[in-house]
Amino acid sequence: MAPRLLPNASSTFGEAATGLEHIGLPPVVAGLAVLVFALVILDTFNQSVLGAGTFHNPVNSLGFAAAGKGPFASHVLRMLAQVGGGVLGAGGALHVLPSTWKRTLGPLAHGVKPGVSLAAGVACEFALAFLLNLAIFASMGTQLKLVGALLPLVATIILVVAGSGLTGPSMNPAHAFSWNYYLQGHDITEHMAVFWVAPFSGALLAGLFCS
């Protein structure tokens, strides 16, 4: 249930950032504000209500599977639910959002930034997924609860800023697929290489490294 609900909700947060931009906030500030809000709300809901941990990203699920943390079949089911939830969330957003907002949805399905090569996009998503999973594993190993709670959040913000000029970034195949499924913002080769193979490879390497 958790992996289905959380991508469903998270697929709508991009539009909240657009709304903040409409009232005058710079795009970077708006994006970071929504990112922090989304991470805190989703993780709090997941931990306190669903009790399943932060599993709204297939990259994290694969990292945990590679590290031997939990049954492999369970992680596969989570990944399928995460992708399905992302598609439902994006579809729901397209259905209920005002038409004035729908015209601004295009960037959610964009691929690598203009002028960025496919190889650079692949390298970016690989490195970001690898580092994100390392941060999550490190947070699980610390005895300090505050550090354990904040480390994934802080790492996510830093990685988003680092990759913003290259791939967005995504770091979440479910999110990238859900918007591209409806909006067709980039071709299949770029989509698979940058937003699936690269982050999954980074997560796999991080999981094996921490196993």
Q: State the pLDDT at residue 200.
A: 97
Task: Give DSSP secondary structure letters for 48-109.
Answer: III-S-S---HHHHHHHHHTT-S-HHHHHHHHHHHHHHHHHHHHHHHHHS-HHHHTT-GGGG
Whole-number Å distance between alpha carbons of 129 and 41 = 22
As for how many domains the chain has, the answer is: 1
* Assigned token pair, 106: 């295009």
- Cβ-contact 57, 24 below 8 angstroms: no
Structure pTM?
0.77
Residue 83 belongs to domain spanning: 2-209
Other beta carbons less than 10 A from residue 7's beta carbon: 29
Q: For the chain, 211 residues long, give each residue's pLDDT as a single digit of tens.
A: 444 444 444 445 555 556 555 666 566 665 666 666 666 666 665 555 555 455 678 999 999 999 999 899 999 999 999 999 989 988 988 888 777 777 777 887 889 999 999 999 999 999 999 999 999 999 888 888 888 878 888 888 889 889 989 998 889 999 999 999 999 889 999 999 999 999 999 999 999 999 8
CATH number of the domain residue 113 falls in: 1.20.1080.10
Q: State the pLDDT at residue 48.
A: 55
Nearest to 6 by CA among 84, 64, 65, 69: 84
Whole-number Å distance between alpha carbons of 105 and 179 = 9
